[in-house]
Amino acid sequence: MRKMKKAKSLNIKGKLVTLDEPWVMGILNVTPDSFYADSRIEDESALYKRIETILSEGGRIIDVGGCSTRPGAVTATEEEERNRLKKALSILMLHYPEVIVSVDTFRANIARWAVEEYGVAIINDVSGGDMDPNMFRTIADLRVPYIIMHMRGTPETMQTLTAYENVTAEVLQSLAVKMNQLYQLGVNDVIVDPGFGFSKTIEQNYELMRHLSDFRILEAPLLVGISRKKMIYEMLETSIEGSLNGTTVLNTFALLHGADILRVHDVREAVEAVRITQLLKEEE
């Protein structure tokens, strides 16, 4: 007999949306230095093409990023980030108003601008509020779902900050403390992201993945973002371009162990993984 599970839900633009099956978030990079070169968008026609690809392949959320957070990245200025985001957000607001859009930013000013000027539905913060002390209160004011990711330091310094006694326990503890801070401010819609590839070694990333089901204790939607990352292509001794199969394997594992949202470059393959894993879990 199939067990009844408590469905996770989010308030998106005043509508209660239930994650009764996992969603796929398609990455829309408008940065010139994203770690995956094929994901970089350079002109308006490429923007439209990427948006249409994400939607036609089954993406439920489009995540727009204007400031690269790859390891060692030099942080773009706020003005650079705003200018990069502007064209993509204008197109999405005018031509795809029903699409759920998130913005990948650690800056509270960018978050407020994106929500108030362009109707962005979700803020995705890789720093978990650490890089801008105003972020948590801004999210509380905006009343939008907030993706809180675990990271230590900044993209420039994070790979020097990988000392853990127990990586899973420490990531869980950090996220739990911050979630409580958000709840105290009245933020009810929090999505958690363990931060694969951020201030973690390859071995620590796999340790986190092995214990992914432990994140259910947080009782929040769980986002997993491992698409074409170093933990895959270095372990398989391949390239970023050759890491799609490894990405799909890990996405499938994540889905079987509690992931509610997959953040990916390759939407079709992730959607297919969702379909198959949902079929496998039907009798649980």
Please identify every residue annotated as catalytic: 229, 263
Encoding tokens for residue 276? 């198959």
Query: What's the chain's Rg over C-alpha atoms?
Result: 18
